[in-house]
Amino acid sequence: MTKQIRTRFAPSPTGYLHVGGARTALFSWLFARHFQGIFILRIEDTDLERSTTESIDAILQAMEWLNLDYDEGPYYQTKRFDRYKEVIADMLAKGTAYKCYCTKERLEELRTEQQASKIKPRYDQYCLQHKPVDPHAPYVVRFKNPTDGEVSFADMIRGTITVKNSELDDLIIARTDGTPTYNFTVVVDDWDMKITHVIRGDDHINNTPRQINILRALGAELPVYGHVPMILGSDGKRLSKRHGAVSVMQYQEAGILAEALLNYLVRLGWAAGDQEVFSREEMVQLFDGSNISRSPAAFDPDKLLWLNQYYMKSLSPLIVAPVLKKQLQKLGIHDFRQTNLERIVEVQAERTKTLSEMAERSRYFFENIHYDEVAVHKHLTADIAKPLQVVREQFNDLSQWQTEAIHHVILQVAELCDLKLGKLAQPIRVAITGNTTSPPIDVTLLLIGKERVLQRLDRAIEIASA
């Protein structure tokens, strides 16, 4: 019987979930879902000074927004300290770990001597060979790393990686206050949680040989590792805040759809032929851990915006409209009774790339307009006042407020007043929206509603007459 796949996403809550972390979470989630496995969320919060509840909340919110549902967790390392102490005590008893009483001064002196001799700095196992002068003095616990041989593992992305044990150190697994360290807690957690595959960023690749040696010392079965290359900015350097790399939730704030961000992230270092657009179902079907690039991927904001506009146009307006509503509420708009949000999504998606941009460009559907002075001077001139008055009268007489009837009135008045269609439609657009850009004029008027159209025409006629 094939063993069930178990993957995990294990962020440290010392900041918000960023693009790189979100991609790691997505790859681990997809791998588990593809093989009908288990996906686990683990919060690695042993850095007590830097971990915050705000960061934990931000991580959980981002996972929920991206709909990366987890089957187990969230587990918190700070709630597993008794388990870590139990394992350390067992390792001390078996001799796979030992107490180190060396002072900071001795360690600094050792490091200086090794650097002067051009030897790679590593602990010299002094406390393994000498009894402590004072057994009650503060101590750390070190893992007894093998001194001979090598660590070799088959990385699912990079192939075979081999490191000599002589290159590794007897790393500290418990500090003087008894708190466990990162490399140790990760190993115990992966062991206890029966993780079969660890997909993570390649900034962890140097930790893997050390963790493998600890796992072997515990008699644990090794997971398969896959180290995903980093994400680069446009300048070829690691993606950071200076490139505009922000919290995942800031993309939501900016009006990016979760579907677009996930689609963009999956293509950062993974491919399935030439296909660019993937539904969530297609991602799960195709993502089997192969075809992940060994080379770093470059973050392209324009590509993300292209995908976002694609999803604004292709998703059901019933899905997009609630996101638009939240963006409008941030602008102080709360009355949606007179306007069809789904229809606004349909007519504005071609014209905007984010939902925040769509909301800003749709304000005139909901609130009193502010006229653009340049547009007023150019289009609401004295000679257009009379045609606008005729349009207003004929609109008022319409029994059915429909696009066909609205369009017919504009055509009829343009012909009656001997005007080209654009010479009348554009002043109407300025009169109704305050500006020169909008969806087709008949659709725009339909969505704004007859009563408000008449009110705005009255005001525009006053301006033009003056």
Per residue in 104-159, pLDDT tens?
Answer: 999 999 999 999 999 889 999 999 989 998 989 999 999 999 999 999 999 999 99
Of 292, 248, 224, whose CA–CA distance to 11 is shortest? 248
| Residues 176-196 pLDDT 10s | 999 999 999 999 999 999 999
Query: Token match 């790399």: residue?
Result: 245
Is 5 within 8 Å of 238 (Cβ atoms)? no
Query: Token match 């270092």: residue?
Result: 269
- Spatial separation of the C-alpha atoms in residues 323 and 317, rounded to whole Å: 10
pLDDT at 165 over 90: yes
Query: In 290-340, which residue ranges form alpha helices assigned H by DSSP?
Result: 301-314, 317-330
* Signed CA dihedral, 345, 302, 294, 72: sign only: negative
pLDDT at 1 over 80: no
pLDDT at 243 over 70: no
Query: Token match 């040989």: residue?
Result: 209
Is 243 within 8 Å of 266 (Cβ atoms)? no
pLDDT score of 245 = 57
Residues belonging to the active site: 241
The token duo for 458 is 């009255």
Stretch 290-294: mean pLDDT, rounded?
94
pLDDT score of 401 = 95
The chain-wide mean pLDDT, for the chain, equals 94
Find the helix or strand (DSSP H, E) in which 269 lies. none
Query: Which residue ranges does the chain devote to CATH 3.40.50.620?
Result: 1-72+229-314
- Spatial separation of the C-alpha atoms in residues 150 and 169, rounded to whole Å: 13
Stretch 16-35: mean pLDDT, rounded?
96
- Spatial separation of the C-alpha atoms in residues 370 and 373, rounded to whole Å: 9
pLDDT score of 40 = 98
| Residues 408-431 pLDDT 10s | 999 999 999 999 999 999 999 999
pLDDT score of 49 = 86
Stretch 100-106: mean pLDDT, rounded?
95
Banded model confidence at residue 244, pLDDT cuts 50, 70, 90? low
Query: Which residue ranges does the chain devote to CATH 1.10.8?
Result: 316-367
Of 277, 293, 171, whose CA–CA distance to 230 is shortest? 293
For the entire predicted model, the pTM comes to: 0.92
Class of domain 82-174: alpha beta
Class of domain 368-466: mainly alpha
Class of domain 316-367: mainly alpha
pLDDT score of 239 = 79
Domain 1-72+229-314 classified CATH 3.40.50.620? yes
- Spatial separation of the C-alpha atoms in residues 223 and 214, rounded to whole Å: 13
- Spatial separation of the C-alpha atoms in residues 118 and 354, rounded to whole Å: 55
Of 177, 281, 299, 180, whose CA–CA distance to 236 is shortest? 299
